[in-house]
Amino acid sequence: MKAVQITSYGAADVLRVNEVDRPAPGAGEVLVSVEASSVNGHDVIIRAGEMKMVSGRRFPIGTGLDFAGTVAATGADVEGYRAGDRVWGMVHPRQRHTTAGAAEYVVVSADRIAHAPAGLSPVDAASLVVTGATALIALRDSVHLAGGERILVRGAAGGVGTAAVQLARAMGGHVTALARGHHAQLLTGLGADEVRDYGSTTSDQIGPFDVIVDTVGTELNCYRSRLGKGGRMVTVGLSASALAAIAASSVYGARRIRTFSANPGSAVLRDLAKHVTSGALRPVVHSVYPLADIAAAHEAFERGGAVGKHVVAVSA
């Protein structure tokens, strides 16, 4: 089978599409025939060598955190799935993989997949796995958004941002989206009550907010100051400076800056599917690349400025 592998740490040109043996599922595992995967920050960070304590120094290393496709086979003790079922899921982000979601087949534990929403194409499904799950965990489990609360989504045009705008609206929040001004029509269509241009809007010109969801990871203290009484903030844009700001914010108690490791299992994916089925959440895909051009997809991700997700079509 074809699988994208990291051959050494570095820029996108270290990615190779190699021929490898097709894996077989063990007990409690499922073999998925992958139709699409997407490019996530985790993939780029691993490839660049910024998480060597997790990925190690032995090559090759698989890439592709998420996937959508069909069940090809199941191992012993797997219930609820059979060959031909359409599924979506993700590999474990803290485990080392020689092949991962950007491959023709992937083996994962059955508790890391769920049935994909009916009517959603593999490309659309792959675009929502990590972004949708991250936004759902942030809003529901981290900051506990309640109906009627004022929420700011910073970096609203990105993958997590577009999902967060939609889910926040579905949860009854009054949504302010901060993004490039020319994305206003799209974000309003996704459910934003107000769109502010980050190029001409400073943090002290907006708010106060009950909830802030940040996907950028910069100027965190400035935005934290825009929380009202009882406000909560979470960031998913992690960097060295962001981690320092998160640690320093602990003195503010409930108004500190929160973060979390998005590592969704089947339960979160099933909940996410309900939001898709209800019409509350729809995919936003910026571009689709064939598997052979995954290096170009990584480069596009690193350039930034995308609206939604870069997706890799594994099967034609």
Work out the average pLDDT over 38-47. Answer: 94
Helix axes 294-303, 41-48, angle to 10 degrees: 100
CATH topology of domain 2-120+284-313: Quinone Oxidoreductase; Chain A, domain 1 (3.90.180)
Contact 245, 221 (CB under 8 A): yes
Mean pLDDT (the chain, rounded): 96
Query: Kindly report the CA angle at 312 between 306 and 316, in degrees rounded to 5?
Result: 135
3-state secondary structure (DSSP) of residue 9: coil
- Sign of the four-CA dihedral 178, 179, 185, 188: negative
Neighbours of 93 (CB within 10 A): 19
What is the pLDDT at residue 223?
A: 97
DSSP 15-33: EEEEE-PPP---TTEEEEE
pLDDT in tens, 65-108: 999 999 999 999 999 999 999 999 999 998 888 999 999 999 99
Comparison of pLDDT for 298 and 305, the residue scoring more: 298
Q: Looking at residue 316, what is its pLDDT?
A: 54
- Give the separation between CA 240 and CA 201, rounded to whole angstroms: 25
Residue 311 pLDDT > 80:
yes
Distance between CA atoms of 97 and 183, rounded to whole angstroms? 37
pLDDT of res. 239: 76
For residue 185, what pLDDT band results from cuts at 50, 70 and 90? Answer: very high
Sort 189 into a burial class: Cβ within 10 Å, 0-12 / 13-18 / 19+.
exposed
pLDDT of residue 53: 80
Per residue in 262-272, pLDDT tens?
Answer: 789 999 999 99
The third-level CATH classification (topology) of the domain covering 129-258 is Rossmann fold (3.40.50)
For the chain, where are the alpha helices, taking DSSP H only?
A: 41-48, 52-55, 122-136, 159-170, 184-190, 220-224, 240-248, 266-278, 294-303
Q: Average of pLDDT values for 1-24?
A: 97
What would the pLDDT profile of 265-294 be if each residue is shown by its tens digit?
Answer: 999 999 999 999 999 999 999 999 999 999
**DSSP structure class, residue 159:** H
Output the pTM of the full model.
0.95
Model confidence pLDDT, tens digit, residues 118-175:
999 999 999 999 999 999 999 999 999 999 999 999 999 999 999 999 999 999 999 9
Distance CA 310, CA 106 (A): 20
* Single-letter amino acid code for the residue at 141: D
Query: Residue 150, SS3?
Result: strand
Is residue 9 within 8 A of residue 44, CB to CB? The reply is: no
Q: Do 2-120+284-313 and 129-258 show the same overall fold?
A: no
Q: What percent of the chain has pLDDT over 70?
A: 100
Give the type of residue at 177: A
Domain assignments of the chain as residue spans, ordered by start: 2-120+284-313, 129-258
H helix runs in 171-293, sequence order: 184-190, 220-224, 240-248, 266-278
